[in-house]
Amino acid sequence: MNLTELNRIATAMVKPGKGILAADESSGTIKKRFDAIGVESTEDNRRDYREMLFRSKEAMSQHISGVILYDETIWQNAKDGTPLIKLIEESGAIPGIKVDEGTQALPMCPGELVTIGLDKLAERLKKYFERGARFAKWRAVIDIGNGIPSMTAISVNAHALARYAALCQAAQIVPIVEPEVLMDGDHDIDRCYEVTSRVLNKTFQELRVQRVELEGMVLKPNMAVSGKKCAKQASVAEVAEKTVRLLKACVPAAVPGIAFLSGGQSDEEATAHLDAMNKLGPLPWGLTFSYGRALQAAPQKAWSGKADNVAAGQRAFSHRARMNGLASQGKWDVSLEKKAA
């Protein structure tokens, strides 16, 4: 393992002003997104949509550091025969790959899930590396509810995350470690803070046990936010203050950077939260974005599956990418959204 090279890639992934496009929706998820805009989820439509994003020159070269791909996409070619992964490389962004195989029910823990996909992962990583992937992603899902999460769910998922990360580094691939505490419940921000703190502490404990080099990874956590159904929604300032405090308490300074998931926040909310955190002054690690829906909802709607709308889709994507790029430096302002509109 060449740690210097892993660290170089991890640092490039969280470079100020740039962030990661999560374009790794599973077939089921992208179908839901396409249903919402009245587009049939065929292999060709999925390819055309992602090709539109990857050919969006301004967004890709100026604001996107890396792209997380789904297995289907990494092997696909653009309409003109160019491999999609090449379009990403040519823009200066780094190609990555989602390697987990989704979740299944965790035995003896009703209502809790464990992420699967460790079997034969070493062989898959080798193939992905040969294809050009230089980082990978694995998502663990922790739900907050009545009596959950259990310590079992936190431990099992942290253990799997660390095993995945160690396998990645052995294959010369930077692991994005993504322990996501969901925002679906009616819990308040303090409950989210407490659970996320337990999850992060356990995750870093496992990473150390399995000898993962912290300098060669990127963390992709949730922010400390109120549950969607909570009557009292925390303000932008409170989310920023509590999330930064949480990260300072749980994330070692050796980690090059933190790329947040948007986790169901609206486009502008996700941008405002990231910006407010970066305005809180010098931090031990870079703080940027690894958004899926918060970068793609607008371009999906603008495109709506029509070839004539490709330019409009790219404009919408460039705008969101630029807003988040500014937020990753604490330079965003809500008035910039109004100007574009």
Residues annotated as catalytic (active site), given as ranges: 178, 220
Structure-block tokens of residue 249: 């308490």
Give me the residue label for tokens 């996700």: 270
Dist. CA 156–CA 10, nearest whole Å: 25
**Residue environment code for 253-266, b if the CB has 16+ CB neighbours within 10 A, otherwise e:** eebbbbbbbbbebe
Dist. CA 82–CA 77, nearest whole Å: 5
Count CA within 13 A, CB hemisphere, residue 41: 15
Structure-block tokens of residue 43: 């292999």
Give me the residue label for tokens 């899930």: 113
- Cβ atoms 296, 310 nearer than 8 A: no
- Cβ atoms 325, 332 nearer than 8 A: no
State how beta strands 64-69 and 19-23 pair.
parallel
- Cβ atoms 153, 196 nearer than 8 A: no
Q: 253: Cβ–Cβ under 8 A, 6 or more apart, which residues?
A: 284, 285
Give me the residue label for tokens 């931090």: 283
Count CA within 13 A, CB hemisphere, residue 204: 19
Q: 175: Cβ–Cβ under 8 A, 6 or more apart, which residues?
A: 135, 136, 137, 138, 164, 165, 168, 169, 212, 216, 217, 218
